[in-house]
Amino acid sequence: MRAYRAKRDSKPRVADKYNILGFISSGTYGRVYKAQSRDTEGKIHAIKKFKPDKEGDVITYTGISQSAIREIALNREISHENVVALKEVILEDKSIYMVFDYAEHDFLQLIHHHSQTLRTSISLPVLKSLTFQLLNGLLYLHACHIIHRDLKPANILITANGVVKIGDLGLARLTYSPLQALYTGDKVVVTIWYRAPELLLGAKHYNKAIDIWAVGCVVAELASLRPIFKGEEAKLDSKKNVPFQKDQMLKIFEISGTPDEREWPRLKDMPEYQNMRRLDTYPNRLRDWCTNKMKSQLGYEFLKETFIYDPDKRLTAEAALKHGWFHEDPTPTANAFHTLQPPQCPPARRITHDDAPSMMPQPTQAQATQNVAQATQVHALSMSHSMSAKSMSGAGSVGTGAGTGGAAGNAAAGGRVRKKARAG
């Protein structure tokens, strides 16, 4: 035991190898941080720290989570330009750290940038390039017999060079001769808005087609800047039984129509078939939905083929990459941002220090004093701008609007700096 501890303590710790720059985001299984390598290259990485498992209300070490085991095992075996690359795994103080290549953006951030900041749709060249690269990465995973099972905008990354990287394989499963049914151990997979109909209807056995349905949902969201099937999720009951997702099914039917048993012969064998039959019937309105969003007949046909109800007839990743939509001008490019001017490019991913107490180094007394002084200076500057705005308010409504907006922005910036100073 003494020899083991000596060997364990001799290994470099996370802080020895990486300088933690800030907190990026958190999810069900862990927290993600931005970090810079301390070697001569100084490369930027994303470090995922898995949360410890819980026993009751007390956080206790109970072993490595199933999600962590899957993600580590699968990422160690794969390598593709459109799948995020795992650099190393570090075990420290009973916590697991996975070090990945860093990506500056993700699909969700891009959607928010266009819907809230630019207030304009994503251009067709960008849309097609992102979709093509996403399918290219998915084809690789499927060729490796891996189903992702959680494709959504937040899990699809984009580098500053416009390269798509599929991330977060925590729910992924190998489908080649699995020892148990995919349903076993994971009764619920895929975030509700991107969940395929066969999953919503309680299928115990399913295939790679669930990822293609999710791709269709993601592409539709990129095109319209909002989820195409935005239903309310019914939660598991006290006995962990999976309820029928009535609202989500209705959201799908309202656009894609009610499924026909002649087109989907196995529909009547689905566990939730009787619940589905009680729902109102709807015609297929997908063409109308696509009119001003997919911008071409081939774009509509591509989306229609990703939303085929029968999973055995749904588009495959390989067939999708050969679809005529990608051969129609404009064609996809290796850099999805190639056609964008700087104002149109999404800003770098925002990081914070307030949400990263477990990874951020504590500041020295001198640094804390300097932070407070900087915060005071910014606050004084914001007050100066506020006084200037008030003096301009008599110049007319246009001047008032501009002045007030500028003062509010500076005050908010001052508040953010003060908040960081307090956290330090």
Catalytic center residues? 150
DSSP state of 325: G
Burial per residue of 352-383, b for 16 or more beta-carbon CB atoms within 10 angstroms, e otherwise:
ebebbeebbeeeeeeeeeebeeebeebbeebe
DSSP H stretches of helix in 225-272: 246-256
164 φ/ψ sector (left φ>0, alpha ψ -120 to 50, else beta) = beta
Q: How is 66-116 classified by DSSP, letter by letter?
A: HHHHHHHHHHHH---TTBPPEEEEEEETTEEEEEEE--SEEHHHHHHIIII
**Residue 397: both structure tokens together:** 């409504």
**Residue 167: both structure tokens together:** 């991330």
Contact call for residues 53 and 62 (beta carbons, < 8 A): yes
Q: How is 202-220 classified by DSSP, letter by letter?
A: T-SS--THHHHHHHHHHHH
**Residue 349: both structure tokens together:** 């991913």
Phi/psi at 91 (5° precision): -105, 120
Contact call for residues 165 and 106 (beta carbons, < 8 A): no
CA–CA distance, 211 with 255 (Å, rounded to integer) = 19
Phi/psi at 111 (5° precision): -60, -45
